[in-house]
């Protein structure tokens, strides 16, 4: 957790596994919005597995089906907030000692479904609250749901301050637990394997490669990544993910960096993409809190170039594990690419620092221990 944060809790940092003295069949129920393999959903799956190794019974469900699927969890209904979905969720909640709602629509769903049950729920805030709820009416709706939560977990201390100041969450209910990733799933690769990985993905095996991985939406700044590659004819860009901007981004790439930008769409495992890359680039314009892609890149010993949005500076330490550039600053983005890809020794040093930092701070086992403390305290309250 963030050092010297007023939201840190000793109970969230304890290494003692929770003890569940109840005869109900499920200890922890996790709820995600859908069964797509996206950030919050993948984290819930990883947390599920990590908690189970401590002897905690966990069940993870999705409110509805997603656009692409891929996450092997039970789906409760056709619509996220449909009557049948909420009824099914209520039945699940009635069997749990504590419920964990992972962002977005799970907040109102769990606030409604846990009414009248014995199960308290914990809400995990996964993004920049003010970015996604800029209007007062939106903040009031979110605040009403948060008021029902027994505890609220923010990914970094700045997010916790926002929740307290703008959404009126009591400080005693706030905990700071960072995002987490299984360290064993993202071990570094040897340099010669990069060329082979690039070739498998349809890239030039000899050309230095930047990677953009995530949803193809305006706030992720993939257009800036394309423009930066256009300014560096020695580089190529691998774009992994899908979204509403894909067609316009493909047209932009064809016009500005023809033959040097490869779009793959979603992939079953991001590891292949990291193996092909020399640097990860995320010029976020806002909305991000603590993107797992930057943690995964660090675990793969890859430096990252990003913007100081949300909790990103806690992952990407400027000049130590990568580079931070101002939001929307194309020239600085190009300069950072030049510094990192133009000096292999420096890039390797940044990558080694990133690996050590992410293993120590963001490994899923470390994060799950902190979650165990919060869940134990909530279940016993």
Chunked into runs of 10 residues, the chain (381 residues) has average pLDDT values of: 51 38 64 93 96 90 92 95 97 95 94 94 91 87 95 96 95 97 91 88 95 96 98 97 96 98 91 96 94 97 97 97 98 97 95 97 95 91 77
Residue 70, phi-psi category: left (phi > 0), alpha (psi -120 to 50), beta (remainder): left
Q: What kind and span of H or E run contains 60? A: strand 58-64
Residue with tokens 């047209």: 251
Q: Are 233 and 259 in contact (CB under 8 A)?
A: no
pLDDT of residue 5: 57
The C-alpha torsion from 249 through 261 and 235 to 329, rounded to 10°, is 10
- Give the predicted TM-score (pTM) of the model: 0.89
pLDDT of residue 134: 85
pLDDT of residue 198: 95
pLDDT of residue 21: 45
Calpha distance 291→121 (Å, rounded): 24
**CB-based contacts of 367: which residues, under 8 Å, 6+ apart?**
47, 50, 177, 178, 179, 180
Calpha distance 332→76 (Å, rounded): 46
User: CA–CA distance from 27 to each of 7, 51, 228 (Å)?
Assistant: 26, 11, 49
pLDDT of residue 6: 66
Q: Are 29 and 99 in contact (CB under 8 A)?
A: yes
pLDDT of residue 26: 52
Q: Are 224 and 330 in contact (CB under 8 A)?
A: yes
Calpha distance 306→333 (Å, rounded): 8
In terms of C-beta density within 10 A (0-12 exposed, 13-18 middle, 19 or more buried), how is residue 134 classed? Answer: exposed
**CB-based contacts of 4: which residues, under 8 Å, 6+ apart?**
none
Percent of residues, the chain, with pLDDT higher than 90 = 80
Domains and CATH numbers, the chain: 10-180+363-380 (3.40.50.2000), 183-362 (3.40.50.2000)
**CB-based contacts of 258: which residues, under 8 Å, 6+ apart?**
none
pLDDT of residue 11: 39
């Amino acid at each position: 957790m963030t050092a010297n944060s007023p939201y840190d809790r000793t109970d969230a940092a304890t290494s003692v596994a929770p003890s569940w003295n109840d005869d109900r069949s499920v200890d922890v129920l996790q709820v995600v919005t859908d069964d797509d393999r996206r950030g919050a959903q993948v984290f819930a799956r990883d947390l599920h597995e990590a908690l189970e190794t401590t002897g905690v019974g966990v069940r993870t469900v999705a409110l509805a089906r997603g656009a692409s699927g891929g996450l092997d969890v039970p789906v409760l209904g056709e619509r996220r907030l449909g009557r049948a979905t909420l009824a099914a969720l209520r039945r699940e909640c009635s069997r749990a000692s504590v419920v964990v709602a992972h962002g977005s629509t799970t907040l109102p769903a769990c606030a409604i479904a846990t009414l009248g049950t014995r199960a308290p729920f914990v809400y995990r805030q996964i993004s920049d609250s003010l970015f996604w709820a800029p209007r007062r009416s939106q903040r009031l709706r979110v605040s009403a749901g948060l008021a029902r939560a027994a505890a609220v977990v923010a990914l970094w201390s700045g997010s916790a301050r926002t929740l307290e100041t703008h959404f009126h969450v009591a400080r005693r209910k706030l905990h700071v637990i960072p995002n987490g990733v299984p360290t064993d799933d993202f071990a570094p690769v040897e340099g010669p394997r990069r060329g082979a990985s690039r070739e498998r993905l349809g890239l030039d095996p000899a050309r230095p490669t930047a990677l953009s991985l995530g949803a193809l939406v305006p706030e992720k700044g993939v257009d800036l990544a394309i423009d930066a590659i256009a300014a560096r004819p020695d580089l190529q860009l691998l774009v992994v993910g899908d979204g509403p901007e894909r067609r316009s981004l493909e047209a932009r790439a064809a016009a500005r960096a023809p033959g040097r930008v490869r779009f793959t769409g979603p992939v079953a495992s991001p590891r292949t993409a990291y193996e092909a890359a020399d640097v990860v680039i995320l010029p976020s314009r806002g909305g991000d809190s603590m993107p797992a892609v930057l943690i995964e890149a660090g675990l793969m010993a890859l430096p990252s170039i990003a913007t100081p949005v949300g909790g990103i500076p806690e992952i990407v330490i400027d000049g130590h594990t990568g580079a931070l550039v101002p939001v929307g600053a194309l020239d600085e983005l190009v300069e950072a690419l030049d510094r990192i890809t133009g000096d292999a020794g420096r890039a390797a040093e940044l990558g080694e620092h990133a690996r050590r930092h992410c293993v120590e701070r963001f490994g899923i086992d470390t994060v799950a221990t902190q979650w165990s403390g919060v869940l134990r305290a909530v279940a016993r309250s």
